[in-house]
Structure 1
Amino acid sequence: MPRGVVAIVGTTGVGKSELGVQLAKALHGEVINGDSMQVYKGLDVITNKMPVEEREGIPHHLMDFLEPHQEYRVTEFTCDAIKIIKEVHSRDRVPIIVGGTHYYIQSLLWKNSLIKSYDDECDNGSEDDGILNAETDILYKRLQEVDPVMANKWHWNDRRKIRRSLQIYLQTGKRHSDWIKEQHQPDEKASSLRFPLTCIFWLYADPKVLDQRLDNRVDKMIKMGLFEELKYLRNKVENVIKLKMLCYALCNNDDSNFWFVWVGYKEFEAYLNALEETPYLDDKVIDAIKESNIEAMKSATRRYSRKQIRWIRNKLLLKCQESNLNDADTDCISKVRVYLLNTTSLEKWNQDVRDVAITIVKEFLDKGTGPDPKSLSPEAKELLDPAIDTNTFDNLKAWTKYQCDICKIFNDNSPVVINGLSNWNQHLQSKWHRSNVKLKKEMNMNWSGQFPPWFKEKKKKS
């Protein structure tokens, strides 16, 4: 087969890992992890790593090799993955990239997916040890001065993204927002597909079915020891502030699965703190906080799955379309195709997912041909057209933040910030928000408007 690659993308909970193993068995392939969180050790439940015994002896690369405190940037992932792909090709095997961190995967498949000054740069380089290592609030104020457009885009506590935008400005002399504006100009959209033949499978499930599947998975994670992993992560760092900085440092642009750890930790932090403050709270209140936190994690996971779909439609599909159009104009032999496979019915997995994927990828890698991607299903016909890119310069300028003061109370007094009017309206209708409104009323009734001492103490510290 030609030296192409296969990538499996999609939201959390759609079976990417399972298909990766099945394709590897059929194609004499090896799996390369494309999930920014599964690179870390000791977080198997939170990251939903496929158990070793279910991998059926298939090699899995870039998995379980870093400690939670270590930073792993997208540039490092790209360089490591390219090296492994070359090694897999040298063994006449097929590299299969599997993961939901679509920013990682897109940066690997295309050379010009990163900011130009960083693309294909594999060494860490020297960094300004002054402003870039300052406190997050100082970084944010500085970013507001030099690039107010990106400052408005990011949450003021999101250290990784703030620092990244500021670093781009300091090291290139050009604002991050200007880079984005230029990259959306026609002459900047030339294809630079790294591998001659790239076959991408997008695993998709009906949102209503997927929501229930994700809720059930959170319940299963709790039974499998989620709280023990959270306590491990909590104790791994000396204090909560340091942990938050760690999580943000590990967080990657718009589509990082370490975001899931961050949300998981943050949403349960109030419950873990309540357990430590038992002299002030009775069991009924602790249980209420726990249930609220569980619902918050489920809600966050569902929102994240929507975010992953938006990335695929806004970014990945658009990039594929641009590549194929540009390559057609230049008689380039490179080709990338995206096939949507419907995983709504797990009972029909072998028929609708596994067998279809094996047939398609064999023909594509052997001959560079295959069925029309839109012909596979009604969902494929509807969804395989790129959506509007929400990260254009004009959209960045119009970005609006909203803050929920009610949910802040049950979020360890940390700000709950929602980006965009659509997300804000969804938040107001979410079970988490509505349950917090109800819980706040109950707390006001029980304590005459006075919250427990641990809430007061947290508020004082903040």
Structure 2
Amino acid sequence: MKKTVIVVVGPTAVGKTQLSIEIAKAFNGEIISGDSMQVYKGMDIGTAKITMEEMQEIPHYMLDIKEPNEEFSVADFQYNVQKYIDDISDHNHIPIIAGGSGLYIQAALYNYNFSNQKRDTTLTKRLEERIVNEGSAPLYNYLKEIDPQQASKVHPNNHRRLIRAIEIYETTGMTMSEYQENQEKESPYNPIFIGLEMDRKLLYNRINERIDRMMENGLLDEVRSLFNSGFSTCQSMRAIGYKEFIPYFKGEQSLEESIEQLKQNSRRYAKRQYTWFKNKMNVTWYSLTPSTINEKIRNILEDLAGMLEEK
């Protein structure tokens, strides 16, 4: 018997946290964070990490398991999430994954193996040095030549993913896209995907308002503490909500510019998340507005009850 996993997906700020709590209360569930940045300690406000009060005593996993200067890969995420799915299922509770890191969630649920390819540290260093000396454009253009499909998914400034895609090709002769196409098509689990969507204008307003609240709640001090601790070049600080303030701390732009950049990056990320889940996963979507969230959650719980009976 395959283990059932409920997966709550959708763009940032749409209401996934609230829904996951209600699902857990209704169906004896425990929640696994599907956000690749909430694993880092001390990165609470910028990642919109759930608070102890918001948890309502529901067990949560994949939070605060890494220091900000530690690396965390898709393979790490996959290993941990699969372990928690097994543990939760083994004591007859339902695992619920809630989050927006599409590739990470897909890798865990469909047993991806591309990230197990061993890293060539010499090659990694050489590629990193090229970016320092030449910028990212030459490597990005190279990726467009060898794997245009993957290049379309990677921002030129996302150096980690850019380097990884080239590493895969250089060490195996197979592109990242080919690796992904060769993955298992069927999940070893019974995933039930529930997606939340919202009119784009309403969602963008929610994103902007959330960032304003983050600033009021101390986001700038949180990022400053990480910056002053020497973490500015770490993987964790490349996350949206953190990287935007580094130029401000360096005196290269104003605080207002950093906040506006954060809002813009968050809106763009929400669009990419939505596109990913639409194209990659078999999701049952529910459209909501800020005023209909509670009513829609009741509808989702009713639908889920039927879906779980079918499993």
> TM-score, length-normalised on structure 1?
0.60
Q: Does 1:128 align with 2:72?
A: no
What do the CA deviations read for 1:151-195 (whole angstroms, capped 9, x no partner)?
Answer: 865555432112211221243232335546xx2xxxx58732121
The one of 180, 193, 196 equivalent to 1:203 is 196
CA contact (8 A) 2:46 2:242 kept: no
Q: Distance in 2 between matches of 1:340 and 1:142?
A: 37
Give the number of aligned pairs.
Answer: 303
CA contact (8 A) 2:143 2:165 kept: no
Q: Distance in 1 between matches of 2:301 and 2:267?
A: 29
User: By how many angstroms is 1:150 displaced?
Assistant: 4.1
User: By how many angstroms is 1:292 displaced?
Assistant: 2.4
What do the CA deviations read for 1:309-366 (whole angstroms, capped 9, x no partner)?
Answer: 11112222xxx3xxxxxxxxxxxxxxxxx22122313x3322212x122222222122
Cα distance, 1:343–1:172 mapped onto 2, change above 3 Å = same
Q: Does 1:361 align with 2:288?
A: no
Q: Distance in 2 between matches of 1:146 and 1:270?
A: 28
The one of 246, 251, 259 equivalent to 1:269 is 246
Cα distance, 1:364–1:156 mapped onto 2, change above 3 Å = closer
Q: Supply the RMSD in Å over aligned alpha carbons.
A: 2.7
Give the gaps of 5 or more residues in structure 1: 251-257, 278-285, 321-337, 369-462
CA contact (8 A) 1:137 1:157 kept: no
Cα distance, 1:82–1:155 mapped onto 2, change above 3 Å = closer
Q: Which residue of 2 aligns with 1:215?
A: 208
Cα distance, 1:156–1:54 mapped onto 2, change above 3 Å = closer
Q: Which residue of 1 aligns with 2:58?
A: 58
Considering Cα pairs closer than 8 Å and 6+ residues apart, tell me whether 1 or 2 has the greater RCO.
2
Q: Distance in 2 between matches of 1:177 and 1:191?
A: 14
Give 3-state SS (helix, strand or coil) of 2:185's partner. Answer: coil
Q: Does 1:32 align with 2:16?
A: no
Give 3-state SS (helix, strand or coil) of 1:297's partner. Answer: helix
User: By how many angstroms is 1:87 displaced?
Assistant: 0.9
User: By how many angstroms is 1:296 displaced?
Assistant: 1.8
Aligned sequence identity (%) = 31
Give matches, 1:178-189, under 5 Å. 178-179=178-179, 183=181
Larger Rg: 1
Q: Which residue of 1 aligns with 2:293?
A: 349
User: By how many angstroms is 1:145 displaced?
Assistant: 5.9
CA contact (8 A) 1:9 1:201 kept: yes
CA contact (8 A) 2:7 2:193 kept: yes
User: By how many angstroms is 1:37 displaced?
Assistant: 0.7
Cα distance, 1:137–1:313 mapped onto 2, change above 3 Å = farther
Give 3-state SS (helix, strand or coil) of 1:45's partner. Answer: coil
Q: Which residue of 2 aligns with 1:296?
A: 261
Give matches, 1:111-190, under 5 Å. 111=111, 113=112, 115=114, 118=115, 121=116, 126-134=118-126, 136-138=128-130, 148-150=145-147, 153=152, 154-176=154-176, 178-179=178-179, 183=181
CA contact (8 A) 1:143 1:166 kept: no
What do the CA deviations read for 1:372-418 (whole angstroms, capped 9, x no partner)?
Answer: xxxxxxxxxxxxxxxxxxxxxxxxxxxxxxxxxxxxxxxxxxxxxxx
CA contact (8 A) 2:146 2:175 kept: no
- What residue identity is the alignment partner of 1:198? P
Q: Distance in 1 between matches of 2:87 and 2:142?
A: 46
Q: Distance in 1 between matches of 2:72 and 2:158?
A: 17
Q: Distance in 1 between matches of 2:200 and 2:75?
A: 32
Q: Distance in 2 between matches of 1:165 and 1:356?
A: 41
Cα distance, 1:168–1:189 mapped onto 2, change above 3 Å = closer
Q: Which residue of 1 aligns with 2:188?
A: 194
CA contact (8 A) 1:149 1:177 kept: no
Give the gaps of 5 or more residues in structure 2: none
Give 3-state SS (helix, strand or coil) of 2:242's partner. Answer: helix
User: By how many angstroms is 1:267 displaced?
Assistant: 2.7
Cα distance, 1:137–1:315 mapped onto 2, change above 3 Å = farther
Q: Which residue of 2 aligns with 1:229?
A: 222
Give 3-state SS (helix, strand or coil) of 1:301's partner. Answer: helix
Q: Distance in 2 between matches of 1:147 and 1:80?
A: 32
Cα distance, 1:173–1:306 mapped onto 2, change above 3 Å = same
- What residue identity is the alignment partner of 1:103? L
Q: Which residue of 2 aligns with 1:75?
A: 75
Q: Which residue of 2 aligns with 1:104?
A: 104
User: By how many angstroms is 1:101 displaced?
Assistant: 0.5
Q: Distance in 2 between matches of 1:33 and 1:59?
A: 11
User: By how many angstroms is 1:219 displaced?
Assistant: 0.8
User: By how many angstroms is 1:306 displaced?
Assistant: 0.9
Q: Distance in 2 between matches of 1:9 and 1:84?
A: 18
Q: Distance in 2 between matches of 1:54 and 1:72?
A: 26
User: By how many angstroms is 1:200 displaced?
Assistant: 0.9
Q: Structure 1 stretch 155-164 or stretch 48-57: which is displaced more? A: 155-164
What do the CA deviations read for 1:422-454 (whole angstroms, capped 9, x no partner)?
Answer: xxxxxxxxxxxxxxxxxxxxxxxxxxxxxxxxx
> TM-score, length-normalised on structure 2?
0.87
Q: Does 1:315 align with 2:260?
A: no
CA contact (8 A) 1:203 1:341 kept: yes
User: By how many angstroms is 1:97 displaced?
Assistant: 0.4
Q: Distance in 2 between matches of 1:217 and 1:39?
A: 21
